[in-house]
Structure 1
Amino acid sequence: MFPELFKIPYINFTFNTYGFLLALAFITGLYVMGRLAASDGQDKQKVYDLGLWVLAASLIGSKLLMIVTEWDSFYRDNPRQIFSLDFFRSGGVFYGGFLGAVIASVIVMKIYKLPWWRTADAFAPGIAIGQAIGRLGCFSAGCCWGKPTSAWCGVHFSEKGHEITGVPTMVRHLADPIQQNVWAERLGGLLARSNCIQPRFMKPRRPC
């Protein structure tokens, strides 16, 4: 677990690993989406605009779900923390960001009159690859540690991890983010590859 990427001295500002990997997931996913959309003859600029709206919605969604999931344990007694710098520096909840991104995608695609299925074809690999990177952020933050296991692939978290998230340190855990990262990477690669292959009766795309 590696929750803090680095600190800036003198101003005591911390760059969280989760936030960095979340940004990397978005940039990588958007690059893949734009390239696949261009290979299909779509307007790349509209796809990038869609991606920016998705980014804004995902940030809002991740923060809102974090408030909901931690309301009873923290924010009910500390409501002012919602407006603090620490709140905005925190990564939020990945699935809240994912849900916000889906909602924004549907609305913006309808406004821009983007073709639903062709745009979805371009977005699917990028989403899977972004999911893979985002789940590494969850693992680095020490959340979603999974069930105890005695298997060789179990993860033994450190005492620092216990101090931050409360993860038990006496046993190994089958970390959920790592499992999802592996499957999302494979799915993203498979979708990206299949996106470049079409039946002969369909209009051929430019090379991916």
Structure 2
Amino acid sequence: MHNELFKIGPVIIYGYGLMIALGVLLAYRLVVYRATNRKFELPHIFSLTVWGLVGGFAGAKLLYWMTQVPDIMNNPGILLDFSNGFVVYGGIIGGIGAGLVYCRIKKINFLKHLDLFLPSVALAQGFGRIGCLLAGCCYGEETHGWFGITFHNSEIAPNGVKLVPTQIMESMLSFGICLILILLANRAKKNGLVAATYLILYSLGRFIIEFYRGDVIRGQIGFLSTSQFIALMVVLVTGLVVFLSQYQNRLTGKKV
């Protein structure tokens, strides 16, 4: 896999950046299309996109810094590098948090808009992992299986050895979740159901894939990676919230 795809004069087009840009563009087109069909106010959709991107970038960077505290203590210059080092879960948390703040300020329904956006988030993640594949980051552990992939010119992944294709696995997971959420959104009548489904499906998939990751800079909490620990907490908290919501509705006699 090659991250440097081609040059336009002195400008180098990198696969990672191109996939991120393509994912964001297609994700935005999808959310606008679905928002238009569902009579959402498009100015809010644009503003939430910007807030989500800014919050997602900040969250992804902040969580990465939190996993690299010892290295930062030895080399504070890491804090000035804004082109490398991001954690997806930080981006999810930061983006959702920024969206919550915006919805509170504008007094619009947060869960309703979150349900609208999350299929697009999953779509963007799928393209982002293709970018990871081209760049060689987020690579898998060494394997002798038939499904392994081999890098030859990567500056990040080990070259010349067969690795578990964790980037492809997570890309397919994200695209699959996107499709499931769109189908679910056409049937769901309760706000927050699509969001809960995304959080649970992505977290379960990510928890499993993390066992096959080979990069060692992701941080550890006990015997779990940082992302596995967060995934476990997300599943537990989301499941608890859904259970309590259902229980409360039964007590009040509401149908869901």
Give the TM-score taking structure 1 as reference length: 0.77
**Residue 107 of structure 1: which of 101, 105, 117 is its match?**
101
Q: Could you say which residue in structure 2 is the equivalent of 1:188?
A: 178
Q: Could you say which residue in structure 1 is the equivalent of 2:218?
A: none
**25-34 vs 125-134, which deviates more?**
25-34
Would you say 1:64 and 2:62 are equivalent positions? yes
CA deviation map 1:67-108 (0-9, x unaligned): 4444544x444434544xxx3444744433233212111211
**What is the CA distance between 1:197 and its match in structure 2?**
4.3
In structure 1, how many angstroms separate the alpha carbons of the residues matched to 2:6 and 2:160? 28
**What is the CA distance between 1:49 and its match in structure 2?**
0.6
Would you say 1:139 and 2:129 are equivalent positions? no
Aligned residue pair count? 189
CA deviation map 1:113-156 (0-9, x unaligned): 22233212211211111111111112222112112222222111
Please, what is the CA RMSD of the aligned residues?
2.6
Q: Could you say which residue in structure 2 is the equivalent of 1:5?
A: 5
Q: 1:181 to 1:54 in 2, by over 3 A?
A: same
Q: Could you say which residue in structure 2 is the equivalent of 1:203?
A: none
Which amino acid letter does the alignment assign opposite residue 112 of structure 1?
K
In structure 1, how many angstroms separate the alpha carbons of the residues matched to 2:13 and 2:159? 25
**Residue 52 of structure 2: which of 51, 54, 62 is its match?**
54
SS at match of 2:149: coil
Q: Could you say which residue in structure 1 is the equivalent of 2:161?
A: 171
Paired residues of 1:57 and 1:97 also in contact (CA < 8 A): yes
Which amino acid letter does the alignment assign opposite residue 176 of structure 2?
R
In structure 1, stretches of 5+ residues that fail to align are 200-208
Give the TM-score taking structure 2 as reference length: 0.64
Which amino acid letter does the alignment assign opposite residue 79 of structure 1?
P
Which amino acid letter does the alignment assign opposite residue 152 of structure 1?
W
Paired residues of 1:21 and 1:134 also in contact (CA < 8 A): yes
In structure 2, stretches of 5+ residues that fail to align are 190-256
CA deviation map 1:165-199 (0-9, x unaligned): 2x333531112111011121122122223323467
In structure 2, how many angstroms separate the alpha carbons of the residues matched to 1:76 and 1:31? 42
Paired residues of 1:144 and 1:175 also in contact (CA < 8 A): no
Would you say 1:79 and 2:76 are equivalent positions? yes
Paired residues of 1:16 and 1:89 also in contact (CA < 8 A): no
Which amino acid letter does the alignment assign opposite residue 5 of structure 1?
L
**Higher RCO, Cα 8 Å, sep 6+:** 1
In structure 1, how many angstroms separate the alpha carbons of the residues matched to 2:166 and 2:111? 31
Q: Could you say which residue in structure 1 is the equivalent of 2:14?
A: 16
